[in-house]
A and B are shown apart, each in its own frame.
Chain A
């Protein structure tokens, strides 16, 4: 590095050169800091609370049952009216044929019979309550009608009065 020493020793303005380099370094650091802060905000915009969510669309069939055919894949783009899946047709047909032609399992039939017995028992109980309440109404209205006649101050006495 003898050439470096030769350059500096030959320079009569080492002090002024050192001061100038120091000032340039400080000013350069300030300028580069401003550029870095200004550039980072422009090139990589950031947000403190970024949120991203999928667009959910609820799909509900008109009948329930097991899905026997699936005609779509995950994330597949579909259009309105496209066939997405097929629900077990046997169960759907049995519902649409009416209760007379309904085909159900033995356990389901047993449950329906139990429901029918419960409903009949409820009907009988309601009929008994109707009779009891009707009797109460009859008893409540009978004294009022009789009392109205007997309590009349002129009913018996003034008819036979002279």
Chain B
């Protein structure tokens, strides 16, 4: 996987970190729905810190393993 600093998305150039952040937020929202369905959401304490950490984790993981190769 090549290292992309800028991603060409439908003719517009976006920085890779911005797309990684969007993907991280979307993944976090999907995982939250999964936690709610599995009744694990009430036990993710402290929830604010856990979901913020999940956004950071998903964003940086996407940036490291997808856009930086």
Contacts and interface: CB of A to CB of B under 8 A. Distances in A.
**Size band of the interface chain B makes with A:** 20 to 34
Contacts of B61: 32
Contacts of A18: 35, 40-45
Interface in A81-110: none
Contact of A14 (B43, B54, B57, B60): B43
Contact of B43 (A5, A19, A28): A19
A1 interface: yes
Interface stretch (A35-43, A51-59, A126-134, A151-159): A35-43
Interface residues of A, number: 24
Interface in A12-63: 14-15, 17-19, 21-22, 25-26, 28-30, 32-33, 35-36, 39, 43
B37 interface: yes
B25 interface: no
B36 to A, nearest CB: 10
A33 B60 CA distance: 7
A32 B37 CA distance: 27
Nearest to A31: B57
A4 B38 CA distance: 6
A8 interface: yes
B50 A15 contact: no
B8 interface: no
A25 B53 contact: yes
Interface string B30-68: 000011011111111110011001101100110110001
Contacts of B50: 22, 25-26
Contact of B45 (A5, A9, A19): A19
A67 interface: no
Interface of A: 1, 4-5, 7-9, 14-15, 17-19, 21-22, 25-26, 28-30, 32-33, 35-36, 39, 43
16 contacts: A5-B37, A5-B39, A8-B40, A9-B39, A14-B39, A15-B43, A18-B40, A19-B45, A21-B44, A22-B50, A25-B44, A25-B50, A29-B54, A29-B60, A32-B61, A39-B68
